A and B are shown apart, each in its own frame.
Chain A
Amino acid sequence: MTRTGSGTGNLGFTPSEMMSIAAARELRDGQVCFVGIGAPSTAANLARATQAPGLVLIYESGCIGAKPTTLPLSIGDGELADTADAVVSVPEIFNYWLQPGRIDVGFLGAAQIDRFANLNTTVIGPYDRPEVRLPGAGGAPEIAGSCKEVMIMIKQSRRTFVDPLDFRTSIGFGDGPGSRERLGLRGSGPRMVITDLGILRPDPDSCELTLTDLHPGVSVEAARQATGWELAVAPEPRVTPAPTEAELAHLRHLVSKRPQGSSK
């Protein structure tokens, strides 16, 4: 994890740490959360260690109610299965648990996001001749469609906040108001996007992502510069409370016990 984020040198925490902590605060005790690997898994486990001890973590490998004490490297680490309330097959996790809308929060990352919170995890560049072939869809399209709501974590830059996406892997609000309804999606879609600079929420009327919160030390101008479209900004963006010592300690403890060599 880099400790060289711009503009936060004296704050005592990195932009990545702020992102994880801001995301963890948004998960509520007792919610059922379908967790993607990487940043969402870190934040969800931080939430369990802090204000949401009863958060139910679901991993697509088949783990329901996983309570890992160390961060998993993959979504199917033994630690997840060994600590779960139930271990089920992959057909069961998708068909019986995700598809009917039993999950409160889907928690996703992505390589690219657009102004309507649609996500790309498929390719950078043209599909047939990709500059970078990314891993692909995994569980994301159905998580994005079927969870009651979705939270997204992504570092904000002109490479990640783009319009249009190179490929639409998972839907946020599609082309704007009414898209999800026309597609018959049951979940309400993205509730917020947590970045290393702040938090964006969909405008209730236009569905367009709007900057509503800035992390300490980040300016509106910095957020605009890191967005590949003309960023909508709330009239008076809130400032995210800085991480508490307890939050930082829990996060650093989790990360320090992460399996060897993990790069993110």
Chain B
Amino acid sequence: MAEIVSLREAVAELVGDGDTVAMEGFSHLIPHLAGHEVIRQERRHLTLVRLTPDLIFDQLIGMGVADKLVFSWGGNPGVGSLHRFRDAIENGWPTSLEIEEHSHAGLTNRFVAGASGLPFAILRGYAGTGLVERVGNIKSVQCPFTGETLAAVPAINPDVAIIHAQQADVHGNVQMWGLTGVQKEAVLASSRSIVTVEEIVQTIELRPGGVVLPTWAVTAVAHVPGGAHPSYASGFYERDNAFYSEWEAISRSRESFLSWMERNVLEVGA
């Protein structure tokens, strides 16, 4: 049964230094405020996992939370670079960042294997790319039935998955809808999970196309309205595209980044 707790308690109890932490949400339902809480609690040496490291990972990396990043596309969609991500990789600021990169299909299937209790996943992927030589976790396997050669990637089983959803009920059952990315797989692949939600209702009304995580499959639920901003929560608020554009200037220099984080994250309570 998921416990309904404050975000501060959830992060304090479930995210430890050195953990592998997946924060998922593909454009939609990105757990920004949970990421801010991880920054405020000064976690260190995390391995961060996410298909599309966007602004929240730029912030986590720039604040020195991570030693390693596992990802498949690191940019500010439609705007340009993630400057803190680039500064870490190109210049080792604020600390050096080890990277392991995949394609979306490859990293997605790492989560699928993790959620399925399998040691690895197969896919038609990575053929002819330089990633095969650069990334130790991309190998090939022969189909025992057809003899065909396919790409193989190991399961990923994070210590903690953190996601944002539209709603939970008072028992901790979670429902999300719209674009749901790989959040279900991330939660089921991980040892522990934190779900922040826009609202807590008495009883969930099942929605067509809604994705439900039953309470016994979730560790903690926290009521965090607005927790996905500047990404969006379908049915609650739209993507703040203007902020994504503004992040370009805020994040370009270390000084303006740190000053923004000080004012907007560190000085703000959970």
Residues of A that sit less than 8 Å from B by CB? 37-38, 60-63, 72-78, 81-82, 87, 89-91, 94-95, 98-99, 118, 122, 127, 130-142, 145-146, 167-171, 174, 179-180, 183-186, 259-264
Q: Separation in Å of the A38 CB from the closest CB of chain B?
A: 7
Distance A132 CA – B51 CA, assembled complex (angstroms): 20
26 intermolecular pairs with C-beta atoms under 8 Å apart: A73-B79, A74-B27, A78-B238, A81-B178, A90-B181, A91-B182, A91-B185, A94-B109, A95-B123, A99-B124, A127-B134, A132-B86, A133-B86, A137-B102, A137-B131, A138-B52, A139-B73, A139-B103, A139-B105, A142-B105, A142-B123, A142-B124, A146-B124, A167-B130, A168-B130, A263-B245
Distance A76 CA – B39 CA, assembled complex (angstroms): 26
Whether a CB of chain A sits under 8 angstroms from the CB of B94 is: no
Q: Which residue of A lies closest to B244 (CB)?
A: A73
Q: Which residue of B lies closest to A121 (CB)?
A: B73
Distance A63 CA – B234 CA, assembled complex (angstroms): 14
Query: Which residues, 37 to 86 on B, are CB-close (under 8 Å) to A?
Result: 51-52, 71-75, 77-82, 85-86
Query: Which residues, 154 to 213 on B, are CB-close (under 8 Å) to A?
Result: 178-182, 184-185, 209, 211
Q: Is the CB of A145 within 8 A of B127?
A: yes
Residues of B that sit less than 8 Å from A by CB? 26-28, 51-52, 71-75, 77-82, 85-86, 89-90, 101-105, 108-109, 111-112, 123-131, 134, 148-149, 178-182, 184-185, 209, 211, 232, 234, 238-239, 241-242, 244-246, 248
Contacts of B108 in A (CB 8 A): 90-91, 94-95
Distance A23 CA – B71 CA, assembled complex (angstroms): 30
Contacts of B112 in A (CB 8 A): 91, 95
Using A81-B234, A94-B104, A259-B78 as known contacts, say yes or no to A171 and B179 having CB atoms under 8 A apart: no
Using A62-B181, A140-B103 as known contacts, say yes or no to A133 and B89 having CB atoms under 8 A apart: yes
Using A90-B51, A94-B105 as known contacts, say yes or no to A78 and B127 having CB atoms under 8 A apart: no
Q: Separation in Å of the A20 CB from the closest CB of chain B?
A: 15
Contacts of A133 in B (CB 8 A): 74, 85-86, 89-90
Q: Is the CB of B127 within 8 A of A184?
A: yes
Distance A170 CA – B126 CA, assembled complex (angstroms): 8
Contacts of B242 in A (CB 8 A): 259-261
Q: Is the CB of B130 within 8 A of A145?
A: no
Q: Separation in Å of the B32 CB from the closest CB of chain A?
A: 14
Distance A260 CA – B248 CA, assembled complex (angstroms): 13
Q: Is the CB of B128 within 8 A of A74?
A: no
Q: Is the CB of B111 within 8 A of A168?
A: no
